[in-house]
Amino acid sequence: MEEFSGDITNPTSIAFDRSGRMFVTSRFDGTVFRVTPLKEVVVFASDLGIATGLAFNHVGEMFVGDRSGAIYRVNEIGEAKPWAQMEPSVSAYHLAFGPDDTLYVTGPTVSSFDAITRFDEDGEPTVFYRGLGRPQGLAFDSDGNLYVAASVRGRRGIVRISPDASQAEIVVAGMNLVGLAFSAKGEMVVATNEAVYSLPMGIYGTLLV
């Protein structure tokens, strides 16, 4: 491992746009930074509250979760507007777009029966799945299954939820899991509070096209 950039205070979420540019949120100052290939850090959007989750939709629009209750929609020049509202989170919002191009959001509360919320293109919410404890990072595979770091039925780990939300099961057990993503080699990459693990599971994520 080697440090890529140390110029962002409290970096929280990372996402890449369709052209491969890297963006990072800072919950310290409510800012989204763009990190150049030369590791230069440039402010892209600001005044985003406690900026945590970050995701792009299929047309390249950026969405940022403010854990105090708002989800912002950010255009290509960094102008942000409130787009949807949620219950405040005790830690952070995590965002991911599904194969249906709707936005899926987790935001753990003090409840042990939290939900994954799905937002349509107009920012209207519906509950996709309820019954998780402290749901955090999430990612989709190429078959449309949703994976989330959470507890379900008393067990903590990575939970796989079927596309119709009818089934949820632990596929990787573990404590203190926070974030996850799928690599181009079919690995599940899982982040805890202290380390990052790569699990060769033969699962491939969705790609922006």
Rounded average pLDDT per 10-residue block, the chain, 209 residues: 75 91 94 93 96 94 95 96 92 92 92 92 96 95 96 94 97 93 93 90 79
Q: What is the pLDDT of residue 5?
A: 65
Q: What is the pLDDT of residue 112?
A: 79
Residue 126 DSSP one-character state: E
C-alpha to C-alpha distances, 23 to 30, 64, 124, 206, nearest whole angstrom: 13, 11, 26, 19
Helix (H, G, I), strand (E, B) or coil at 30: coil
Helix (H, G, I), strand (E, B) or coil at 90: coil
| CA atoms of 128 and 164, how far apart (whole Å) | 9
C-alpha to C-alpha distances, 73 to 41, 76, 108, nearest whole angstrom: 21, 10, 21
Give the model confidence (pLDDT) of 90-113 as tens digits.
Answer: 888 999 999 999 999 999 887 879
Q: What is the pLDDT of residue 2?
A: 67
- In this structure, are residues 151 and 175 in contact, taking their beta carbons and an 8 Å threshold? no
Write the single-letter amino acid at 140: F
Q: What is the pLDDT of residue 125?
A: 96
Q: What is the pLDDT of residue 204?
A: 93
For residue 141 the two structure tokens come to 């595979």
Q: What is the pLDDT of residue 1?
A: 62
**What is the CA angle 32-36-40, rounded to 5?**
85
For residue 207 the two structure tokens come to 């790609």
